[in-house]
Structure 1
Amino acid sequence: MRKTAIILGATGLTGNIILNKLIEDARYDTIKLFSRSKIEGLPNKVEQYIGDLLNIEDFKLDFEADEVYCCIGTTAKKTPDKNLYKKIDYGIPVKAAKLSKENNISTFLVISAMGANRNSNVFYNKTKGKMERDVLQQNIKNTFVLRPSLIGGKRKERRLLEKIGLAVFQVIEPLFIGKLKQYKVIDAETIAVAMINLANSTSNAEVIITSSDIKQISKNN
């Protein structure tokens, strides 16, 4: 039986790659996008639900699928208001996980970040850490929390500081050996492939996956 997938954040870098891959994947006959704006030119197998994801619970009747890919995330530059930042980076994934649990969706994948720690003094890391904790508390059968390092790829929007950071990382990457391997830049394509591989794996577990493990999982076909 073919599957239905939900993507949150399909207009972003990793989410858009997942979307394009699932469109071509014969295992899926329906892809549901929940977002603030419509993406034009998509095939009939893609259903789009437009609205405010801060109130994602309003989509409850349509929020049904075999798996959820949560690729939601913002930046301090785009969202300087910390309250709004938390509503996006913490609130949306946690609400989506609760909705998935209520609607008996058995697989939930979410992108977090390296350094996520609910006890951290750094706002960004603490927000991600609390998100992970509360997503895992839903006890969805297959829960995969991915913690990538700095994500590489061509973005639609310009992020100057991130671009500089990527350039610096690429220069010093050859020095990253042993435990430092996990800090290497990871391409959004690699994350997308790993998430799809995980969603179609036979494991039934709640798993936190580091950046180096993401790269290895992306190689499994």
Structure 2
Amino acid sequence: MATKKALIVGATGLIGGYCLQALLKDPAYAGVIALVRSPQPTTHLKLKTVYARFDNLEPALAGIEVHDVFCCLGTTIKKAGSQQAFREVDFTLVLTIAELMRKKGAIQFLVISSMGADKNAKVFYSRVKGEMETALKHVGYPCLRIIRPSLLLGSRKEFRLGEKVGTLLTPVLQLLLRGPLGKYQPVQAEAVARFMVMVAHQEPSSGVHVYESDMICRPKGMKRQKDQK
């Protein structure tokens, strides 16, 4: 009998929308809570939607206790409006949610990062993602799972030139990017979401686990994941 509950943040985004559907179908979860800023159309007996201002999260999270937290937050500098606004979402907001839910007893935190995330990267986007990963490792979760997808494919509400180009070039890239270069292939957002929910049940269920993009389409390759203490 299912007893676990999950919180998903970013359920109205590209990966988050697919992740929400996967969680609702997963028999391991008795309930799913979606923390959102704007209305989302999904209804389900297992689903509870909580609306919140992301600059005032504590009241919205009062009384919410879950086992797993799925964080699918992410934006772009263009959409956010500035580097600082981007950092507020992809670093500060992610870390704030992680800290609040850990205090409430959450055991596992799963987060979408990015291929190339590195706190020492010269590229601002990759550096912020790397700083986010590093900060999460110090929150104290018994289990932290970091998923690093490459260029995402899927239907977004907003236009992103890089992803459109990636979609058009996918057949060519699949031929060229093989072997060690496989992790650079574009990946479907739905596949990322399914993978995220799948690894929530994987052993070991403790420690820090980093999954590179090439593992997403080849689950058996998870033996090559980077386990970090």
Structure 1 length normalisation: TM-score?
0.92
Most deviating of 128-137 and 201-210: 201-210
CA distance in 1 between counterparts of 2:159 and 2:153 reads: 13
Contact in 1 for aligned 2:173/2:185 (Cα 8 Å): no
Structure 1 residue runs without a partner (length 5+): none
SS of residue paired to 1:77: helix
- 1:110 match: 111
Q: Which of residues 215, 218, 222 is equivalent to 1:216?
A: 218
Superposition map of 1:42-53 within 5 A: 42-53=43-54
> Partner of 1:35 in structure 2?
36
Return the alpha-carbon distance in structure 1 between the equivalents of residues 220 and 114 of structure 2.
Answer: 17
Tell me by how many angstroms 1:153 deviates.
1.5
> How many equivalent residue pairs?
220
Contact 2:152 2:188 in 1 (8 A): yes
Between the aligned residues of both structures, percent identity stands at 32
| Distance of aligned partners of 1:76 and 1:20 in 2 relative to their CA distance in 1, 3 Å threshold | same
User: Does the Cα contact within 8 Å between 2:114 and 2:129 map onto a contact in 1?
Assistant: yes
Q: Deviations over 1:144-168 (max 9, x none)?
A: 0111101112223332342123323
After superposition, where does 1:126-141 map in structure 2 within 5 Å? 126-141=127-142
The whole-number CA distance in structure 2 between the counterparts of 1:205 and 1:85 is 28
Query: In structure 2, how many angstroms separate the alpha carbons of the residues matched to 1:70 and 1:129?
Result: 15
Alignment of structure 1 residues 1-16 onto 2, 5 Å: 1-16=2-17
CA distance 1:40–1:218, change in 2 (3 Å): farther
Aligned to 1:90: 91
9-18 or 53-62, larger mean C-alpha shift: 53-62
Residue identity opposite 1:206 in structure 2: V
What is the rounded CA distance, in whole Å, between the counterparts of 2:163 and 2:42 in structure 1? Answer: 30
Q: CA RMSD in A?
A: 1.9
- C-alpha contact (below 8 Å) 1:197/1:217 kept by paired residues: no
Corresponding position of 2:227: none
> Which amino acid is 1:130 matched to?
E
Describe the shift of the 1:39–1:137 C-alpha distance in structure 2 as closer, same or farther (beyond 3 A): same
DSSP 3-state at the match of 2:50: strand
In structure 2, the gaps of 5 or more residues are 223-229
CA contact (8 A) 2:72 2:111 kept: yes
CA contact (8 A) 1:145 1:209 kept: yes
The aligned counterpart of 1:164 is 165
Q: Offset of 1:218 from its aligned partner? A: 8.0
Displacement of 1:219 after TM fit? Answer: 8.9
**Alpha-carbon separation, structure 1, partners of 2:3 and 2:139:** 26
Task: Determine the structure 2 residue equivalent to 1:121.
Answer: 122
Q: Which amino acid aligns with 2:105?
A: N
Question: SS state of the match for residue 55, structure 2?
Answer: helix
Report the equivalent of 1:195: 196
Counterpart position of 1:101: 102
Larger mean Cα displacement after TM superposition, 46-55 or 113-122: 46-55
The answer to whether the Cα contact below 8 Å between 1:153 and 1:187 also exists between their aligned partners in 2 is yes
- State the TM-score, normalizing by the size of structure 2: 0.89
